[in-house]
Structure 1
């Protein structure tokens, strides 16, 4: 039987402790939600998704900032002036930036974790510019809208 990649609550708590953060109910809930919804989510989407837990919106926001500062989540900009966050892969060998895809019809955002894009500087260009790229955003129609 294949092992699930979804960590247990104990594993999420250990992840928080290893990052130097206290294991509060909102932090565990945010990490748990990211683990089960592997795509970038806005603060508003998280507040809505966790509404039944009755966490304050400001608490969720502060926890997102803390989780980002600890390297557990990344902030993603898809060009619509709404910051989204996603869980970072904690495996040092596979941890890397990956491109995101936004459907221009329905607005669905997808992680393209299996896509590798190598940027090579053109002759005469500055290598440092290519080395500083940290986000790549692709736009088009998703399979449902195409």
Structure 2
């Protein structure tokens, strides 16, 4: 999403048949301004000062995934993380992630460092949908 203004977000929500509530607009705004996937706890912390409770955040995240506006990823640490799923914006297309095994921080990896292609294994066609790289971040 190149433009994360409330007007653009309202239009996007209406296009998928969802009401443009203040909580949904705020949720999409937070995720559109993030450079990495965010957990429910991280989104909740960002929206706490707006008076949006954790239950509403949880429900909205799941509803937005169901509307294909967000993508949900579990990166091996049993924590769901959410990011934009705009298929027309290269920055929001599926891409690899890095998970620090010490601090748990997650970073998006530019696809130029990893090639994600389709390939074949003995009578099975494989489409790579998600790549996760684990290691130690520079801060750890």
Larger Rg: 1
Assess same fold via TM > 0.5.
Answer: yes
**What are structure 2's unaligned runs of at least 5 residues?**
none
**Equivalences for residues 1-146 of structure 1 within 5 A:** 5-91=2-88, 96-115=93-112, 116-122=115-121, 124-127=122-125, 130-131=126-127, 133-145=128-140
TM norm structure 2: 0.86
Aligned length: 138
Deviates more, 1:49-58 or 1:112-121: 112-121
Contact 2:96 2:111 in 1 (8 A): no
TM norm structure 1: 0.82
User: Over aligned residues, Cα RMSD in angstroms?
Assistant: 2.2
1:48-90 CA distances to partner (integer Å, 9 max, x unpaired)? 1111011121111110111000000010111111111111124
**What are structure 1's unaligned runs of at least 5 residues?**
none
2: CA distance, partners of 1:43 / 1:95: 19
The change in CA–CA distance for 1:84 and 1:104 in structure 2 (over 3 A counts) is same
Please state which structure has a larger fraction of its residues in strand: 2
1: CA distance, partners of 2:40 / 2:15: 24
